[in-house]
Amino acid sequence: KKIAILASGSGSNAEAIMKWAKASGLAEVVCVLSDKREARVLERAFNHNVPGLYVRKKKLESREEYDQKLIVRLADFNPDWIVLAGYMKLLTPKFLHVFRESGVRVINIHPSLLPLFPGLDGYGDAYRAGVKESGCTIHYVDEGMDTGEIIAQKTFPLIPGETLEEFKARGLLIENAFYPEILEKLLTQLL
Ligand code: GRF
């Protein structure tokens, strides 16, 4: 199975998925697309011999026009799965429709136990709300912000006294193990 990754940032999840794909032989990461030129994920892709493409968002370009460029770029790689890993833009209905029609599945990881704390800062929002436990969620992507059907969740407690930075770092490490684990189950139809 071919996986295309969309990411905007550091790319620790993308890296974990590239490593897992290589080691398991269950999938091939065919490309990493980023909307941020400086994103570290592009360097990580390069180091794994995976094509890393920066797709530039022009100032006056609409979301629809931008996603159309993504559609064209992605089509070249013919992915079976589109995996969002820290991709910070909302995908348009057209984008989702095009891939849904051709049987491509689009999934995301979100740093909270959805439906709690959707949005840009799941760990921060959970931390500030003073919850005793939080977690991360892998879900199908729909037109909404973190509203798609939930595939799997991992719960972990907040450690009393830990800083937000410590909590985030811990959460990210958990994500890095959880995302490949769930992808493996999805690809082998155990989920
Ligand atoms: C992760 O916390 C992910 O859940 C969220 O953005 C972060 C991306 O981290 N959507 P990385 O770029 O994979 O290191």
- Where do the structural domains in the chain lie, given as residue ranges? 2-187
For 134, phi then psi, to 5°, come to -145, -150
Which residue has 């996986």 as its token pair?
3
Q: Which CATH class is domain 2-187?
A: alpha beta
Instruction: Check residue 95 and give its pLDDT.
Output: 98
Instruction: Check residue 170 and give its pLDDT.
Output: 98
* Peptide bond between residue 115 and the one before it cis (omega within 30 degrees of 0): yes
Which two structure tokens, joined as six digits, stand for 171? 């959460």
Q: Where residue 190 falls among pLDDT bands split at 50, 70, 90? A: confident
**Pocket-forming residues, ligand 1, beta carbon under 6 Å:** 7, 9-14, 85-86, 109-111, 136, 172, 175
State the average pLDDT over residues 115-139: 97
State the average pLDDT over residues 89-103: 96
Instruction: Check residue 189 and give its pLDDT.
Output: 87
Please name the residues in contact with 36: beta carbons below 8 A apart, sequence gap of 6 or more. Answer: 8, 9, 54
160 bridge partner residues: none
**Measured from the CA of 109, which atom of ligand 1 is nearest?**
4
Instruction: Check residue 65 and give its pLDDT.
Output: 98
Amino acid at 127: Y
* Distance of alpha carbon 31 from alpha carbon 45, whole angstroms: 8
91 is in an annotated binding site: yes
State the average pLDDT over residues 136-144: 96
Q: Where residue 151 falls among pLDDT bands split at 50, 70, 90? A: very high
Q: Is the pLDDT of residue 191 over 90?
A: no
Mutate to test the pocket of ligand 1, among 8, 10, 116, 175 (most ligand atoms within 8 A of CB): 175
**pTM of the complete model:** 0.97
Of all protein residues, whose CA lies closest to atom 2 belonging to ligand 1?
111
User: What share of the chain has pLDDT > 70, as a percent?
Assistant: 100
Q: Is the pLDDT of residue 158 over 90?
A: yes
Half-sphere exposure of 125 (CA within 13 A, CB side): 15
Is 139 in the active site? no
State the average pLDDT over residues 9-30: 98
State the average pLDDT over residues 47-65: 97
Burial state string for 158-173 with b = 16 or more CB within 10 A and e = fewer than 16: beeeeeeeebbeebbe
108 is in an annotated binding site: yes
Cα of 46 vs its chain's centroid, Å: 18
